[in-house]
Structure 1
Amino acid sequence: MVGELKALRKGRAIFTTPLADRIGPALRSTCGILEDDGTVEMRRKLSDRLRPLVESLPDDLKIALLAAFALDERARKPFYQERVHWAAITLDRDDRTVRRRIDEGIEQIAALAVAAAVPAPRHYPGRRWHTEELRVTLALDQPVPEAFEFRRVVADADEIAVLDLALTLPVAGESGDSVTASELGVDVFFGGVLDDPVMESSDRIGLALRPPEPLRRGVRHEVGLRFRANLREPRYVCVPRHPCDLFDLHVRFGEHVPERIVRLEELSPGGAGDWSRTGAALAADDAGEVHVRFRNLAPGYAYGIRWTD
């Protein structure tokens, strides 16, 4: 990891072209970079993974590494030595000191990345498809909350004609009233045709999406959806029926940020609404937004966030 990070900092760093030649297997694994990812996607994944690690360091190391990898817009210069000199001026140090800071910082973020290494994906015999990537943006500052969902699925068998995308709208805690399919608005942006929603239980709504043509084994297929519904409970979780490699969730509260927001991971669906089972506390940024990410989601368990009403 250290060697690959030192190679990445050369030239234009994450803005190098072609970028794929600069990214080794350790970085690919750590950042979730896939073989068919394009340059823009690889750059985004590198930035999303490296920036939180760099920003966790002391200020001097943080500034040095933001410059080294061209993560700071002010330091996006074509040559590594130019970025080193920018950091030296910013820190009021000489270039040699900044180079030592960069080496020290690389050692630290490499250790952090390895310590948080993604475990090997779980295997589920007999599965027909799985979600490789699920990205959701939930806007709670709208008259009716809206969620934009972009999903990439992979066929693990031939002739996959229907994707089961069922979701749950939890019943209200006090009344326990059942929900109805009419409470959920769904629009398909791309990726297929959606059958009419049907109720599978008192709170589970079945959504069957039919791709333009049946998927063959190994084929990747992308879907874009928009959901609109009034949330009865202050939480948003993914409870996958099929394995999911990555779930990336952005939640925008806007001006009305709750006092308490917590991360939920691998809970039973019933436990997602139980405040006695607390997760890590989360803080919204200055825009009133929270961002969480989960990897290797197990079917039947809940992953997401919960907040005070």
Structure 2
Amino acid sequence: MNISAAELVAELKLLRRGRGVPAPQLAERAGPALRAVCRIDEDDENAEIRRKTTECLAQWAASLPDDLRIAVLAAFALHELARNPFYQDRVGWLAKQLERDDRTARRRIDEGIERLAEAAIASTSESGAGEPAYPSRSWHTEELRVALALDQPVPEGFEFRRIVADADDIAELDLALTVTNSAYRGESIGDDGLRVDIFHGGLLTERVMESSDRVGLALRLPTPLNRRGRHEIALRFRADFTQPHFVCVPRHPVDLFDLHIRFPWPMPEEVVQMERVFQDDASDDTTQGLSLSPDASGEIHVQFRRLEPGFAYGVRWKHSDPTLPGSVS
């Protein structure tokens, strides 16, 4: 579907009315252009449409200047301080933040929406709406969310993954966990070195050493998936690692990788975000990346989109007494 910026601007201006994105009738208000750029399927319900729309708008808004970013987030009731149920009230809140009148605030919102649509169209044209950025012959991950707690006696992570079948009769997933530079290098990593528990979504049928530090996992699905079928899995992994980084190195395409890491006290001296680097470079202090700062809870939150198989995406840190995780695939 060919989408123009003007079409998307018109739909976004309708979307900002009333309660904005939190509106209960969101499925009726999401037009064809918005559905295309946000990859909203026909059978998606309100909650899923809201999630996809919120993530897309937040991603596109992040590229805007601060005043326009705040303006569009307030317009759609996505700003935490501007969740008023009426659009006019959100305009008034924005005017106070900008120290301008309501008329100026409305102009900023209109300008922000136009820039938002341009960012959306550019993003869509790069990868193609509705299709993964890197085609797969079997399956790809639509969404991977990982929460990693390094402040536990043994580092512990939870992984929530939604996969999409790119072919018919997908009955098994080939997953992997890598313990980088493991103390078990050259030996089989047993349950004591890496424990994996499936919480829902299938049965772990095989565990093999694919290399000296990479454990392959075969997950049998409850029922085979046909093309475009979706399935969600959840697992927990616990391990002692020996490198101060956590990265995703996908073997199948990944649309979204969302990562939360909670650090132990004292906080790391340096935290760096890494995107599309070689796996071996993830542990190299000379590898450049965006500097991050843990919040008051000792946590960082990063997102990556359209991950290319074979490259690493994640976080590296320096710590005087590190607890060191490796990587997922």
Query: What amino acid is aligned across from residue 294 of structure 2 in structure 1?
Result: A
Question: Quick one: structure 1 residues 85 and 115, their matched pair in 2 at CA, closer, same or farther if it must change by over 3 Å?
Answer: same
Kept after mapping to 1: 8 A contact 2:182/2:213: no
CA distance in 2, matches of 1:44, 1:232: 36
Query: What amino acid is aligned across from residue 232 of structure 1 in structure 2?
Result: T
CA distance in 2, matches of 1:85, 1:54: 20
CA distance in 1, matches of 2:60, 2:133: 26
Question: Quick one: structure 1 residues 266 and 75, their matched pair in 2 at CA, closer, same or farther if it must change by over 3 Å?
Answer: closer
Aligned match of 2:15: 8
- Equivalence map 1:181-220=2 (5 Å): 181-182=190-191, 183-220=193-230
Kept after mapping to 1: 8 A contact 2:160/2:234: yes
CA distance in 2, matches of 1:10, 1:4: 11
Q: CA deviation at 1:197?
A: 2.6
CA distance in 1, matches of 2:231, 2:219: 12
Structure 1 position 76 matched with structure 2 position 86 = no
Query: What amino acid is aligned across from residue 201 of structure 1 in structure 2?
Result: S
Q: CA deviation at 1:54?
A: 4.6
Question: Quick one: structure 1 residues 200 and 152, their matched pair in 2 at CA, closer, same or farther if it must change by over 3 Å?
Answer: same
Root mean square deviation of aligned Cα: 2.9
Q: CA deviation at 1:181?
A: 2.9
Structure 1 position 134 matched with structure 2 position 136 = no
The counterpart of 1:87, out of the listed 79, 87, 94, is 94
Aligned match of 1:180: 189
Structure 1 position 97 matched with structure 2 position 104 = yes
Query: What amino acid is aligned across from residue 149 of structure 2 in structure 1?
Result: A
Query: What amino acid is aligned across from residue 289 of structure 1 in structure 2?
Result: E
- What's the TM-score, normalizing by structure 1? 0.85
Aligned match of 2:127: 119
The counterpart of 1:24, out of the listed 17, 31, 55, is 31
Question: Quick one: structure 1 residues 265 and 20, their matched pair in 2 at CA, closer, same or farther if it must change by over 3 Å?
Answer: same
Structure 1 unaligned regions, length at least 5:
none
- Equivalence map 1:121-270=2 (5 Å): 121-122=132-133, 124=135, 127-172=137-182, 178=187, 180-182=189-191, 183-253=193-263, 255-270=265-280
Q: How many correspondences in the alignment?
A: 307
Say which structure is richer in strand: 2
Q: CA deviation at 1:213?
A: 2.3
Question: Quick one: structure 1 residues 60 and 266, their matched pair in 2 at CA, closer, same or farther if it must change by over 3 Å?
Answer: closer
CA distance in 2, matches of 1:201, 1:57: 44
Question: Quick one: structure 1 residues 289 and 44, their matched pair in 2 at CA, closer, same or farther if it must change by over 3 Å?
Answer: farther
SS in 2 for 1:17: coil
CA distance in 1, matches of 2:264, 2:32: 39
CA distance in 2, matches of 1:66, 1:158: 40
SS in 2 for 1:147: strand
Question: Quick one: structure 1 residues 132 and 91, their matched pair in 2 at CA, closer, same or farther if it must change by over 3 Å?
Answer: closer
Kept after mapping to 2: 8 A contact 1:254/1:287: no
CA distance in 2, matches of 1:119, 1:276: 30
Kept after mapping to 1: 8 A contact 2:185/2:212: no
Question: Quick one: structure 1 residues 256 and 24, their matched pair in 2 at CA, closer, same or farther if it must change by over 3 Å?
Answer: farther
Q: CA deviation at 1:227?
A: 0.9
SS in 2 for 1:292: strand
Q: CA deviation at 1:193?
A: 1.0
SS in 1 for 2:127: coil
CA distance in 2, matches of 1:26, 1:282: 34
- What's the TM-score, normalizing by structure 2? 0.81
Q: CA deviation at 1:81?
A: 1.8
Kept after mapping to 2: 8 A contact 1:67/1:76: yes
Question: Quick one: structure 1 residues 78 and 224, their matched pair in 2 at CA, closer, same or farther if it must change by over 3 Å?
Answer: same
Question: Quick one: structure 1 residues 253 and 212, their matched pair in 2 at CA, closer, same or farther if it must change by over 3 Å?
Answer: same
SS in 2 for 1:281: strand
Kept after mapping to 1: 8 A contact 2:254/2:307: yes
CA distance in 2, matches of 1:272, 1:16: 42
Structure 1 position 292 matched with structure 2 position 302 = yes
CA distance in 2, matches of 1:299, 1:172: 23
Kindly provide the CA deviation profile for residues 161-220 of structure 1, in whole angstroms up to 9, marking residues without a partner as x: 2211122111159x9665613211111111111125332221011211111123333321
